[in-house]
Structure 1
Amino acid sequence: MTDPAALPSVIAGYTGAIGRALEAAGVPSGPVFAAAGIEPPGRNDPLERLSTRQVTDLFRICVERTGDPYFGLSVARYIHASNIHALGYALMASRTLWEFCLRLERYFAIVSQAAVLRLERDEQRVLLHFDPRTPLCGETEDAFQAFVLRFMRLLLNAPLAPSRIGLMRACPAGGAEPYYDAFGTMPTFGCREGLIEFDAALIDQPLAGSCPDLAQFNDRIANDCLAKLSRSDIVARTRAAIVEQLSSGHCTRGQIARELGLSQTVLQQRLGERGTGFHELMEETRRELAMGYLRQPELSITEIAFLLGFTDASNFSRAFKRWTGQAPSSVRA
């Protein structure tokens, strides 16, 4: 049986931040990458991947060479939106931090397939759960959670301290103070999963950098990347094909099945195994695209209707009211 830790799972562009953190610590990055058997950071292609084991080995050597047990926290300061390709730019253009979280959850596999991000929300709190699929090194956990917080603070342009942080790793011998400096909250170590919890009141504030058309453009690229990464994931492949075909006016189950090289029966069967169906997936995709289009004032309601594959604006309006209980013009206003 193949060891999951040996399978490609992590976006390779992430190593660019590791290299910059090494250089900032006065350690030449080339010999470190060579010792880990990894090519130095090159072009930023989301389909270029590293295994969890490769990343673990790289971080182990980084800690040895720098003598810094908190090296993962240092790496977070050098991760740029571009290191996670189109997803990074889509996140930057999010309307609110809640939209940021939803987008990160949906496309998290682009960043890593070694864990699953799961959101939970009620009236008081929002939780980001990081469920590992394979054992992760502590530096990976440190780097990613610290990066998410830095990114959210940058977009909010205000202090943002989580009400709770949970880490699976053990606390380094030097103590937890560097974590408090990075997170603004003292974490709990040795948890079953990674966890970040926020006050829900903070998460719906409008973000100054919101740009719906840019977010939607990069969502399309991220959606395509996700489908390419997840060839065995029939939901991701079907969603990508729907997005591609909607504006043609020929987005039928038969057409999408042909695009995927499947019969209609097999397509529906495989979607059913994932707890959905073609009609449900098409409705969900149309609804999500519609909300993005309505935030673009240059698009008329009629143009949006045709972009979503409706024959006229009245059909779109009826569908939108069924989805949301409101008319498109009301949501836009």
Structure 2
Amino acid sequence: MSERTTSASWASGIVKALELEGLDCPAMFRTLGLDFTALDDPDARFAQDDMTRLWQLAVELSGNTAIGLNMARVVRPASFHVVGYALMSSRTLAEGFERLVRYQRIIAESSDLTFSLGAQGYALRLTVHGDHLIPTRHSAEASLACALALCRWLSGRPIEPRQVLIQGAQPKDIEPYKAAFHAPLVFGAAHDALIFDPIDMQLPLPTANEAMALLHDRFAGEYLARFSGSRVTHRVRQVLCRILPQGEPKRETLAQALHLSQRTLQRRLQEEGTSFQALLDDTRRELAEQYLAQPGTTLLETAYLLGFADPSNFYRAFRRWFDVTPSEYRARVSDARTPACTTPAR
């Protein structure tokens, strides 16, 4: 079974966060049987389960149950591999987060990330997976704290979320969370997420550079293609994007395109922690967001581009994905992208 991995860049960020507690990270790596020198190799990868063991050992040694929040104090674009520089050159934070979602697997395969506009604002939602070990809460909390710190670092403004959702139970001491997020906290939530004001997400970034953004997109795309080339999940997504406009995709057609039997395709996807139906649903959802962001594409065209023979099936699927109709979603995207004359007082 293929292990989910984390980039050396992200692992280095974790190490810096642990060193803030005075922990001896080289010794911890030796205890866990990990290669500390691999942190200097930008193409090195660490198993997600090993990062879980690292967090567990760090809490045991430090006694700090909110240790993941330290990541906010060390985050820089380099923590996100080449993806960080693509974010840095984006026009807005919203555009940057869209890039982050697109290239997330470069940073860590263990994390599923979505960024979408809802009734409460823009939601950056995170789910962390493990292979044999259940990920600790510190991994997700570190990611949330990092994402917010990056917002503040890139924008040069003290951005505060409208709300922070944390899956973990409320700890005895919530002061570290208040200090890290400066926002209403919801513990025991259904998922981990940051909810942002659309205005904050749409203001131009001082680091924006369209030419550099395109260059970093190319580098990130090439890395992802090289890294994902042997992964069936990546190849299935590529084929789905190509054949969806031809109608409802069949598992048999997909297997033939990949030169695999249907049984082998199913087994390989299971080994990578997913299924044909899950990938089909995820790919359609991601493409739906892209199509509805283009004013010239009608809802009927979008339904057919996503392979829905019956538009009503598209509308039902869309409500399941986003809890709104396609028309309502498009209106929200349009409203969010309309420049505001003034910034409301906070």
- Global fold match (TM > 0.5): yes
SS in 2 for 1:209: coil
Identity of counterpart residues, as a percentage?
Answer: 28
Q: Which 10-residue stretch deviates more, 198-207 or 268-277?
A: 268-277
CA distance in 1, matches of 2:220, 2:125: 21
Q: Secondary structure at the match of 2:158?
A: coil
Distance 2:121 2:19 in 1: 39
Does the alignment pair 1:167 with 2:166? yes
Distance in 2 of aligned mates of 1:238 and 1:266: 7
Equivalent residue, structure 2, for 1:137: 136
Q: Are 2:101 and 1:105 aligned?
A: yes
Q: How does 1:236-251 map to 2 (within 5 A)?
A: none
Post-superposition Cα deviations, 1:155-203, rounded to whole Å, max 9, x if no partner, equal 1111111111111222333x21111110111321222221111111221
Provide, for residues 48-82 of structure 1, a one-character-per-residue CA deviation record: whole Å limited to 9, x for no partner. Answer: 22222111110111112222211111133223321
Gaps of 5+ in 1: 243-262, 289-333
Q: Which amino acid aligns with 1:139?
A: H
Distance 1:275 1:167 in 2: 25
Is the 2:127–2:140 contact (alpha carbons within 8 Å) kept by the matching residues of 1? Answer: no
Question: Do the aligned residues in 2 keep the contact of 1:21 with 1:78 (CA within 8 Å)?
Answer: yes
Out of 10, 14, 20, which is 1:18 matched to? 14
Residue 63 to residue 106, structure 1, CA distance change in 2 (3 Å): same
Q: Say if 2:122 is the partner of 1:126.
A: yes
1:79-228 equivalent positions in 2, closer than 5 A: 79-122=75-118, 125-134=121-130, 135-173=134-172, 175-228=173-226
Change (3 A) 1:87 1:133: same
TM-score scaled by length of structure 2: 0.65
Q: Contact between 2:11 and 2:39, CA under 8 Å: does it hold in 1?
A: no
Aligned-residue Cα RMSD (Å) equals: 3.5
* Shift in Å, 1:46: 5.5
Q: Could you tell me how far 1:267 is from its partner in structure 2?
A: 6.4
Residue pair 1:87, 1:222 contacting (<8 A) in 2 also: yes
Is the deviation greater in 265-274 or in 180-189?
Answer: 265-274
Q: Given the superposition, is the C-alpha separation of residues 274 and 22 from structure 1 closer, same or farther in structure 2, using an over 3 Å criterion?
A: closer
Q: Partner letter of residue 53 of structure 2?
A: D
What is the CA deviation profile of residues 77-125 of structure 1, one whole-angstrom value per residue up to 9, with x for unaligned ones?
2233213211011111111011011111111111222221112214761
- Are residues 235 and 91 of structure 1, via their aligned partners in 2, closer, same or farther at CA, if it must alter by over 3 Å? farther
Whole-Å separation in 1 of the counterparts to 2:35 and 2:45: 11
What residue in structure 2 maps to residue 255 of structure 1?
none
Letter in 2 for 1:168: Q
Deviations 1:303-323 (A, max 9, x none): xxxxxxxxxxxxxxxxxxxxx
